[in-house]
Structure 1
């Protein structure tokens, strides 16, 4: 019923099917690798730098918040930062709200 030619090529067709599955998955794998190096890895690096900056905060540092408030750190706790934004005006913020540490002398409370 089945000729010898068909019976002999059947295992070769199965092997080719496995190879075509790999070549079909290859673009998907390459896209994930490219996305990792272009998007995921740089974001992880920025998060690590931000965490290190927050850990290094000290009393007297001049900072800017995510909301645009600029002030000098007056008190620190594990989760909270007290910022002096004007003479006698102090606000309490979460540490994660600090977006950057400014160079010394940037913030002048007399100008506010």
Structure 2
């Protein structure tokens, strides 16, 4: 699991397993348009076809332009049931959320 840069933008997590890649952006809530623009915009210009996700505590689906928005709690529960899936630990997610709250 690594962070990556896409030009001047940062992709929070890049998960690699058995030659496959998945990209993850993580934010607490996406109620503000600026937040949605920042989180989904991190993928602008990324020209590969690997899955791209934005995780948040929101229950509304903000998916757009082929980028999938997932509810964090639901994603964590489903990832815990699928041992072959790409996984970010709960601790990693909590750390990321704490960083965002500290920035506010």
Between structures 1 and 2, the one with greater helix share: 1
Structure label with greater radius of gyration: 1
TM exceeds 0.5?
no
Greater relative CO, 1 or 2 (CA 8 Å, sep 6+): 2
**TM-score, with length taken from structure 2:** 0.23
